[in-house]
A and B are shown apart, each in its own frame.
Chain A
Amino acid sequence: EVQLLESGGSLVQPGGSLRLSCEGSGFIFSNYAMSWVRQVPGKGLEWVSIISDSTGSTYYADSVKGRFTISRDNSRNTHTLQMSRLRAEDTALYYCATTSNYAFLMWGRGTMVTVSS
């Protein structure tokens, strides 16, 4: 069974940092690019970042560029999103998703990040 399990979400103060992780199982992790997508409760979805399957190329939405860093460890079937200089508007449920054929194919259940003092 394909599974993606996000972790690391919590309450953090503005300006703080947080590291999210996503562990995949039930599929060949290294064959897929991996993305983060976030959703403010009650609002729409927003693509955040992607890391390619093999070359490690990374891309970011303008809203997080320079503050967030995506990385992966194929030996551990894990990819991470290091978030720094967090703002209130980064408060959201963060989903990880496998990415192929320019689409998000498999999704985790999400981990909640709350940025508040």
Chain B
Amino acid sequence: QTVVTQEPSLSVSPGGTVTLTCGLNSGSVSTTYYPSWYQQTPGQAPRTLVYSTNIRSSGVPDRFSGSILGNKAALTITGAQADDESDYYCVLYMGNGIRVFGGGTKLSVL
């Protein structure tokens, strides 16, 4: 069974940089998985941040950037702000129309 892995929680200081990762329980993540990233605050619908590895969605500030780091997809937040404190989810396209979400990362800014 395919499992998409994310750090359960991370923290970053205001103004700091943090990298969230998105991996597979077996195998490496590459651009052919078209990784995408979503931000969700409590009680709100998800917001699309990045898709196709590194394309920012409309209106997303450039301090959010996507990449492949080693064998994982990555979302890097530079100059973290208080309102970046949210849950972050990645999605991988597994082929044959199938998408799989990671378990999410709870990011604290403190």
Where the two chains meet, the residues of A that have a C-beta atom closer than 8 Å to any C-beta of B are 35, 37, 44-47, 50, 57-59, 61, 95, 101-110
Bound: A103/B91 CA distance, A = 8
Residues of B within 8 A of A47 (CB): 91, 98-101
A-B contact pairs, 5 of them (CB 8 A): A45-B89, A47-B98, A57-B97, A59-B98, A108-B45
CA distance A101 to B93 in the complex (A): 10
Query: What A residues does B104 contact at CB under 8 A?
Result: 44-45
User: 0/1 per residue, B53-66, Cβ < 8 Å to A?
Assistant: 00101000000000
Q: How far is the CA of A61 from the CA of B45 in the complex (A)?
A: 21
> CB < 8 Å: which of A46, A57, A109 contacts B45?
A109
Q: Which residues of B contact A (CB under 8 A)?
A: 34, 36, 38, 40, 45-48, 51-52, 55, 57, 89, 91, 93, 96-104
Q: Are B47 and A45 in contact (CB under 8 A)?
A: no
Inter-chain CB contacts under 8 Å: number: 62
The complex places the Cα of A46 from the Cα of B102 at a distance, in Å, of: 9
**Contact between chains at A107 and B101 (CB < 8 Å):** no
CA distance A95 to B91 in the complex (A): 15
Complex CA gap A47/B38 in Å reads 13
- Among A50, A104, A109, contact of B38 (Cβ-Cβ < 8 Å): A104
A2 smallest CB distance to B (angstroms): 10
Who on chain A is nearest to B101 by CB? Answer: A45
Q: How far is the CA of A105 from the CA of B57 in the complex (A)?
A: 8
- With a cutoff of 8 Å between Cβ atoms, the chain B residues found around residue A45 in the complex are 38, 40, 46, 89, 101, 104
